[in-house]
């Protein structure tokens, strides 16, 4: 064991750990969830500290040998498994001070070890004086969480685009499959199954645009604002230098300084905008997922217009039953994202005066939502969408049976007569075509022209 001291007092720590007294104290103070801070936040924080060391050296505030040791320590952490050194619960002290100090202490101890000094000595490199130089939790945490969300959401955008491509492929495959449309969950005029899937693809493309627009808000960074956005203890040239380093390290185009450093700490609007985009995406995806579940319902007593791939047995008591398991999983993920957005909303409005201290919660829910959405989309695409088949016979049967075919007769027979035929068709369980033919209301040529389901799905 080794003994370390902070402004509160002394504590004993295992002598071989890289975290220090403030990290350990926080781990004892917040045994809340057993959930670790998201690995992407840890990675982003480490890269931010690397950029800060370089910027401090460039401005002359940090000696070059100390900068090299800090950079070497961070690179070693990033090349291994840094997560095991971060012991603070995801739900921790406000603003993320514990997380920032966990990062500072781990880097300082490893850097000192590289220079040949013992753990816990904090000489020649100190967690606060050197690793945290020109920084505060109040400008590093909001910067790190925005960068983490930007990094993690790249794959989310890729998966949305991939799903859009899969839906487009299915729209072409099903383009000739005529079926009954439905409004109010009641029979409507015919539509092609491919048209339904093409509409889903359009929605996915719109969601990509929405999330890309939200990601751009995250690119505005308040780093260099220090404690309250006034830049106290920040040397000249530091902000410009660290932004340049962050652009290089994160390979994220468009990173830019906040228009107002105070606002970047008071308000976490960019995180809310991003979370709202995930919420909107989840609501639209829920609608599509539920449509697919409905279209595949049955197979004997439901719509059964599409056939989903079988992924696992669906019942422990009913032999042969197959459920839409992948889509059911998707619903649960989407509901979780909606709940996370509500938590984000409460946290975002809780900012007071110069700082919003609820950032650890914001970061956790944003990154969790991004990750589970990304993973879910990949599974839905590969285990469900790509394997969907059309039940062409069932679709054709519904298209021919729908009484809503009478809508096509409005221009010739009038709305009232078409309504009478609709009621009669439903009452006698006959098709509109049969009734029109029986009553000699149209010629055969008119029937073929006006009541052709395929032509009813195309604009004139």
As a three-state string, the secondary structure of 378-438 is HHHHHHCHHHCEECHHHHHHHHHHCHHHHHHHHHHHCHHHHHHHHHHHHHHCCCHHHHHHH
**In whole angstroms, what is the distance from residue 77 CA to residue 99 CA?**
16
According to DSSP, residue 355 is labeled B
**Is the pLDDT score of 419 beyond 90?**
no
Q: What is the pLDDT of residue 445?
A: 84
Q: How confident is the model at residue 372 (pLDDT cuts 50, 70, 90)?
A: very high
Average pLDDT rounded to a whole number, residues 115-132:
97
Q: What is the pLDDT of residue 440?
A: 87
Please state, in angstroms and as integers, the Cα–Cα distance from residue 283 to each residue in 175, 181, 206, 338, 341, following that order: 26, 22, 13, 8, 12
Please state, in angstroms and as integers, the Cα–Cα distance from residue 343 to each residue in 218, 260, 269, 308, 348, following that order: 19, 26, 14, 34, 9
200-214, 300-314, 408-422: which range is least confident on average?
A: 408-422
Q: How confident is the model at residue 456 (pLDDT cuts 50, 70, 90)?
A: confident
Which residue's structure tokens are 């890269």?
Answer: 47
Residue 171 is among the residues annotated as catalytic for this protein: no
17-21, 208-212, 361-365, 436-440: which range is least confident on average?
A: 436-440
**In whole angstroms, what is the distance from residue 333 CA to residue 255 CA?**
30
According to DSSP, residue 313 is labeled -
**In whole angstroms, what is the distance from residue 432 CA to residue 454 CA?**
15
Rg of the chain, C-alpha, whole Å: 30
Average pLDDT rounded to a whole number, residues 137-162:
98
Cα-based angle 28, 32, 33 (whole degrees, multiple of 5): 130
**Is the pLDDT score of 138 beyond 90?**
yes
pLDDT digits (tens, 9 = 90+) for 153-198: 999 999 999 999 999 999 999 999 999 999 999 988 899 999 999 9
- Model-wide pTM > 0.85: yes
Q: 56 near 133, Cβ under 8 Å?
A: yes
**Higher pLDDT residue, 446 or 154?**
154
Q: What is the pLDDT of residue 124?
A: 98
Q: How confident is the model at residue 319 (pLDDT cuts 50, 70, 90)?
A: low
CA atoms within 13 Å, Cβ hemisphere of 119: 17
Average pLDDT rounded to a whole number, residues 402-415:
82
According to DSSP, residue 36 is labeled B
Average pLDDT rounded to a whole number, residues 71-93:
95
**In whole angstroms, what is the distance from residue 342 CA to residue 300 CA?**
40
Considering the chain, what is the average pLDDT of its residues?
A: 94
Out of 27, 267, 297, 315, pick the active-site residue: 315
According to DSSP, residue 352 is labeled B
Reading the block at residue 80, the tokens are 């291994």
Q: Are strands 389-390 and 220-221 parallel, antiparallel or unpaired?
A: unpaired
């Amino acid at each position: 064991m080794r003994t370390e001291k902070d402004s509160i007092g002394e504590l004993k720590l295992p002598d071989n750990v890289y975290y220090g007294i403030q990290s350990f104290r926080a781990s004892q103070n917040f045994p809340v969830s057993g959930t670790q801070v998201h690995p992407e936040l840890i990675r982003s924080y480490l890269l931010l500290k690397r950029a800060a060391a370089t910027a401090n050296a460039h401005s002359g505030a940090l000696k070059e040998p100390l900068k090299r040791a800090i950079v070497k320590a961070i690179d070693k952490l990033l090349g291994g498994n840094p997560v095991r050194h971060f012991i603070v619960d995801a739900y921790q002290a406000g603003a993320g001070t514990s997380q920032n100090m966990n990062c500072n202490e781990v880097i300082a101890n490893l850097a000192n070890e590289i220079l040949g000094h013992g753990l816990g000595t904090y000489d020649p490199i100190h967690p606060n004086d050197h690793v945290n130089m020109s920084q505060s939790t109040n400008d590093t945490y909001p910067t790190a969480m925005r960068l983490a969300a930007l990094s993690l959401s790249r794959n989310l955008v890729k998966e949305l685009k991939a799903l859009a491509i899969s839906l487009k492929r299915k729209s072409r495959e099903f383009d000739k499959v005529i079926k009954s449309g439905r409004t109010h969950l009641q029979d409507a005029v015919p539509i092609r199954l491919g048209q339904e899937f093409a509409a889903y693809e359009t929605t996915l493309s719109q969601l990509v645009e929405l999330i890309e627009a939200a990601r751009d808000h995250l690119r505005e960074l308040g780093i260099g604002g220090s404690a309250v956005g006034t830049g106290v203890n920040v040397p000249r040239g530091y902000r410009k230098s660290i932004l340049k380093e962050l652009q290089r390290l994160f390979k994220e185009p468009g990173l830019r300084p906040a228009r107002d450093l105070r606002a970047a700490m008071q308000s976490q609007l960019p995180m809310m905008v991003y979370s709202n985009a995930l919420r909107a995406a989840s609501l639209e995806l829920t609608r599509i997922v539920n449509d697919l579940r409905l279209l595949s319902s049955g197979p004997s007593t439901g719509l059964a217009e599409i056939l989903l791939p079988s992924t696992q047995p669906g019942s422990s008591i009913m032999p042969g039953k197959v459920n839409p398991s992948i889509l059911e999983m998707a619903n649960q993920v989407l509901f979780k994202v909606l709940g996370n957005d509500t938590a984000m909303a409460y946290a975002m409005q809780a900012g007071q005066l110069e700082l919003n201290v609820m950032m650890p919660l914001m970061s956790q829910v944003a990154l969790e939502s991004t990750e589970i959405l990304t993973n879910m989309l990949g599974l839905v695409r590969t285990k469900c969408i790509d394997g969907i088949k059309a039940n062409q016979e069932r679709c054709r049967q519904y298209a021919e049976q729908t009484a809503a075919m009478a809508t096509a007769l409005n221009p010739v027979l009038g709305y009232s007569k078409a309504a009478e035929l609709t009621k009669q068709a439903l009452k006698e369980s006959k098709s509109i075509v049969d009734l029109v033919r029986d009553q000699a209301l149209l010629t055969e040529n008119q029937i073929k022209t006006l009541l052709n389901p395929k032509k009813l799905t195309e604009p004139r």
